[in-house]
Amino acid sequence: KLQAVLFDLDGVITDTAKYHFTAWKQMAGRIGIEIDSDFNESLKGIERMQSLERILIHGQQEQKYSQAEKEGLAQEKNDEYVSLLANLTPEDTYPGIKELLQELQEKKVAAVIASASKNAPLILEALQLNTYFHSIVDPSGVPGKPKPDIFLKGAEQAGAKPSFCIGIEDSQAGIEAIKTAGMYAVGIGDDRILKPSGADIVYPSTEELTLQRLLAAAHMI
Ligand code: BG6
Ligand code: MG
């Protein structure tokens, strides 16, 4: 019954969520805005310019910059982020992910990347995981998470019906997006954070992700 598994990237496939946080913290710090890990939860899954808006509001600087200046700030963050990605190797893939992708490939279930990140192709290449994915959703011009569109587009690309899809996410916005898309939502992380957003099941780590477990949890055996 399972037709496709839609994977978020940052914080699900690899630990790039920490690099996003580091890069935002650095940029925000430079303009006098402090961000902590609690606030960072509200940035996870959120598209780049939207994240910047949230940071400026958080620091009560939402009126301070022109559009061009905001683009400069986002560029500054991305340059730092991309430089942190330079050391990424296949060993940085989270535990259990490659095995799950191999199982999906064997069972001919499509694996799709449903990430808000414009850096997704770069990261998948560094991890050497390209060949396991049916496709990557291009997030440009698509309403961002928590809207369901990125997940719906992923399902459509794979020719899958949302009710026969599983989405995997580490962010509150992403879990909400999966549920609104009408899919089974698997959270990776803290269930006290992800359950309230609507996660159907939460695993503390990707190590727990086996196809058999997912099928049983989602009643898709
Ligand atoms: C999401 C991350 O996957 O991608 C966010 O959780 C990030 O933190 C967003 O802002 C956009 O990423 P990028 O690489 O296009 O800036
Ligand atoms: Mg994520």
Q: What is the per-residue DSSP string for 2-29?
A: --EEEEP-BTTTBTTHHHHHHHHHHHHH
Is the ipTM, as predicted for this complex, more than 0.90? yes
Atom number in ligand 1 closest to CA 50: 10
Residue pair 198/174 in contact (Cβ under 8 Å)? The answer is no
Q: For 41-79, write each residue's pLDDT tens digit.
A: 999 999 999 999 999 999 999 999 999 999 999 999 999
Q: How far apart are the first and last CA of the chain?
A: 7
Long-range CB contacts for residues 202-205, cutoff 8 Å, separation at least 24: 205/94, 205/95, 205/96
Q: What is the pLDDT of residue 188?
A: 98
Task: Specify the residue for token string 């099941």.
Answer: 201
Active site residues: 8, 10
- Over residues 146-150, the mean pLDDT reads 98
Whether residue 78 has its Cβ less than 6 Å from ligand 1: yes
Distance from the CA of 84 to the center of ligand 1, in angstroms? 14
Residue pair 137/143 in contact (Cβ under 8 Å)? The answer is no
Name 160's bridge partners: none
Residue pair 186/199 in contact (Cβ under 8 Å)? The answer is yes
- Say if residue 95 is preceded by a cis peptide, omega within 30 of 0: no
Q: For 163-215, write each residue's pLDDT tens digit.
A: 999 999 999 999 999 999 999 999 999 999 999 999 999 999 999 999 999 99
Among 6, 7, 13, 48, residue to substitute to test ligand 1 (most atoms within 8 Å of Cβ): 48
Q: What is the pLDDT of residue 221?
A: 84
Nearest CA, atom 2, ligand 1: 45
HSE toward the beta carbon, residue 28, CA cutoff 13 A: 25
Whether residue 118 has its Cβ less than 6 Å from ligand 1: yes
